[in-house]
Structure 1
Amino acid sequence: MKKLTLLIAAAGLLQACGNKGPAYDATGTFEADEVIVSAEVAGKILWMPIEEGQTIAQDSVVVKIDAGNLALQKAQIEASANALQQKTNDVQPQLKLLQEQLQVQQAQMATLEKEKRRFEALVKADAATPKQLDDIVAQINVLQQQMLVTRQQMNVQQSTVGTANRSILSEQAPLTKRADIIADQINRSNVINPINGTVLLKYANAGEVVGAGKALYKIADLSNLQLRAYITGDQLSQIKLGQQVKVLVDDGKKNYKTYSGAIIWIADKAEFTPKTIQTKDERANLVYAIKVLVPNDGYLKIGQYGEVDW
């Protein structure tokens, strides 16, 4: 009878040990890099066909915000820029008039030069007086001065009109930049999904009016989750970056599901033990946080507990 009692006690002890589960070196919860996507311009949401739990591809347009007002602003700025050309002065009519005047003076100069040569010949032949030749030379000098003034008037006219036009057209560059800024805002009215991931939360719906910076939805890549766990200083020397470890997750049947993971981050400073985290050495007051990257087969969830064994 005594032998039978010992056998039953031994069997109970073995069963209790079997239900205790596997040992682990650290424990923590799963998390992911969550991205909150916000509106970059204010307006009414015209289109937002996403739902929580939906997987969205990177660079896809997921939200459209009404940009009609921005389009009108851009058109107004472009019209103002185009109107500047009509405000500029055309220097060609004035230049044409002065060029015609110069051509007449050049024709007169040619005639006077011819007369000068004729009178020089007559003076040599004593058929004309030197005074007549001097009068011709004086007329040539006066005409040369007139031609010089005409050329100066042409230069002044070009410079004056050019300066005035540059002053008017100097407003075109700022207007163009303003139009470019509005065009960029119009492009930003189409919200582009930044990563491949699953929508975790929606903060807005189609038909709502949102302001710039308003959160629209939260998304995260759940294909790989990070187990954030805590270790003691004694365990710190046992791990390194890139080290392969086992991650154990309770499958709800008093058993554990095993995953392979890799340590991708080790804190460089110790911190006080979080209340929700247990470590192998419960007496430790300071612990180091680590992150283990674990491929997700769909069963791992954000906030779920996991245990690390190396």
Structure 2
Amino acid sequence: MKSSGYSVVIMFLLMACHRNNEVFDATGSFEADEVIVSAEATGKIESLSVDEGTILKQNAVVGIIDAENIELQKEQVQASIAALREKTVDVAPQVQKLQDQITVQQAQLDNLLHERARLENLIKSDAATGKQLDDINSQIDVVRKQMAVTRSEIEVQRTNSSTQNRSILSEQEPLEKRVKQLDQQIHDANIINPVNGTVLAKYAEAGEMTASGKALYKIADLSTLTLRAYITGGQFSQVRLGEQLKVFVDNGADDYKTYMGTITWISDKAEFTPKTIQTKEERANLVYAIKVKVKNDGFLKIGMYGEVRFH
């Protein structure tokens, strides 16, 4: 029984690889680089404008997840930031008053210095007494001390307010970072399509609840498909990356449609022949997988069988 079954397999392989007098070096099936698009936020899906077969552009917004709760959180944090700013101390008015006071004191000092110079001239002429000069010098000292106190008070006001404001504003930076985090979460509530392609499957509907990481739909770029074929160890040395070769696809019972393909990947590890794949030789125990990129004219489909000829 085993011998009979093996003979049937051999006959099928020979028929498959020599059909219509065509001889092929490898056989495989077409696949695409599929992308599972998942939710990046948790909530109710408000809209999801995708259906199987829909062609989508990269970066297109195809749906929205309810983010009202996150927006409320953002408003609360922004209100906290505004409250912090109201707690800060603005010493500008107080400092301005003290600077105006210094201006007045400076005018007094200028007048006293002028009066002292006049008295000094009068004393030389014996028209004024030394006591008058001593009195004016005492007044000058008093005004100068008052000016020094006022300047010191300005520095104290500035230092104290700076320390107090720095303590208040130190709470602002983490709140601003929280706002940025919430902004990102609000942005993530938009379902953005990552690649150009055709929707292959849809896993969610508008109105359903979703969670971050939950699959929404599957998409693939069908403009170029990959033929995953298998070669034997004896054929391994005959292929190389970047090599152009012909790909044949069934086009009716006795005809083929021909494409040009490029080898983009060659496995360096042997594996057992998949049950659904036939190779050139009688069904070798070990084969190597290769990937051939083929530009799709709309005829090729995922799962369709294709065959290749190296030379």
Q: TM-score, normalised by structure 2?
A: 0.84
> CA-to-partner distance for each residue in 1:177-212, whole Å, 9 max, x for gaps?
322322222222121112222211111111111111
Tell me, yes or no, if structure 1 residue 261 matches structure 2 residue 255.
no
Deviation at 1:283, TM superposition (A): 6.6
Equivalence for 1:10:
none
Where does the alignment leave 5 or more consecutive residues of structure 1 unmatched? Answer: 1-14
1:47 CA displacement:
0.8
Residue of structure 2 equivalent to 1:219: 219
What SS does the aligned partner of 2:201 have?
Answer: strand
Letter aligned with residue 196 of structure 1: N
Partner of 1:165: 165
1:41 shift after superposition: 0.9
Deviation at 1:268, TM superposition (A): 5.2
Judging changes above 3 Å, is the alpha-carbon distance between structure 1 residues 100 and 266 closer, same or farther for their aligned structure 2 residues? closer
Q: Distance in 2 between matches of 1:249 and 1:260?
A: 8
Look up the match of 1:114. 114
* Alpha-carbon shift at residue 73 of structure 1 (Å): 1.6
Contact persistence 2:244–2:263 (CA under 8 A): no
Separation of aligned partners in 2, 1:18 and 1:213? 48
* 1:123-162 → structure 2 map (5 Å cutoff): 123-162=123-162
Partner of residue 201, structure 2: 201
For residue 269 of structure 2, what is the aligned residue in structure 1?
Answer: 270
Q: Secondary structure at the match of 1:237?
A: helix
Equivalent position amino acid for 2:272 in 1: T
Secondary structure at the counterpart of residue 29 of structure 1: strand
Q: Which deviates the most, 111-120 or 213-222?
A: 111-120
CA distance in 2, matches of 1:40, 1:279: 44
Q: Is the 8 A contact 1:226 1:294 kept in 2?
A: yes
Cα 1:37/1:267, change in 2 over 3 Å: same
Which stretch of structure 1 is more off in the superposition, 256-265 or 27-36?
256-265
Deviations 1:152-180 (A, max 9, x none): 21122122213322332343343333223
Aligned-partner Cα distance in 2 for 1:191–1:200: 17
Q: Deviations over 1:9-39 (max 9, x none)?
A: xxxxxx9x98565221111121100000011
In structure 2, relative to structure 1, the CA distance for the partners of 1:105 and 1:21 (3 Å cut) is same
Number of matched pairs: 294
Distance 2:264 2:26 in 1: 15
Which stretch shows the higher mean deviation, 53-62 or 203-212? 53-62
- Kindly indicate whether the alpha-carbon contact (under 8 Å) linking 1:62 and 1:193 is maintained by their aligned counterparts in 2: yes
Aligned amino acid, residue 270 of structure 2: E
Find the residue that maps to 1:181 and give its secondary structure: helix
Deviating more after overlay: 202-211 vs 135-144: 135-144
* % identical equivalent positions: 56
Contact map agreement 1:240 1:263 (CA 8 A) in 2: no
Query: Which piece of structure 1 moves more, 132-141 or 147-156?
Result: 132-141
Aligned residue identity for 2:306? G
Q: For residues 282 and 163 of structure 1, what CA distance do their matches in structure 2 show? A: 86
Distance in 1 (alpha carbons) for counterparts of 2:283 and 2:197: 40
Alpha-carbon separation, structure 1, partners of 2:196 and 2:184: 24
Deviation at 1:150, TM superposition (A): 0.9
| Aligned positions of 1:1-310 closer than 5 A | 22-251=22-251, 253=253, 255-267=254-266, 269-276=268-275, 277-282=277-282, 284-310=284-310
Distance in 2, matches of 1:47 and 1:297, equals 32
1:285, distance to aligned residue in structure 2 (A): 4.5
2:5 matched residue in structure 1: none
Which whole-Å CA distance do the structure 1 matches of 2:26 and 2:205 have between them?
Answer: 42
**C-alpha separation between the residues in 1 aligned to 2:301 and 2:201?**
15
8 Å Cα contact 1:264/1:292 also seen in 2: yes
Give the Cα separation in 2 of the matches to 1:191 and 1:19. 48
Q: Distance in 2 between matches of 1:31 and 1:155?
A: 75
Deviations 1:224-246 (A, max 9, x none): 21111122233233223333322
Where does the alignment leave 5 or more consecutive residues of structure 2 unmatched?
A: 1-14
Deviation at 1:130, TM superposition (A): 2.7
Q: Give yes or no for contact 2:58–2:195 (8 Å, CA) kept in 1.
A: yes
Between the aligned partners of 1:194 and 1:283, the Cα distance in structure 2 is 40
Q: Which digits, 9 at most, give the CA deviation of each residue in 1:99-128, with x for residues without a partner?
A: 343234223323322331232123212233
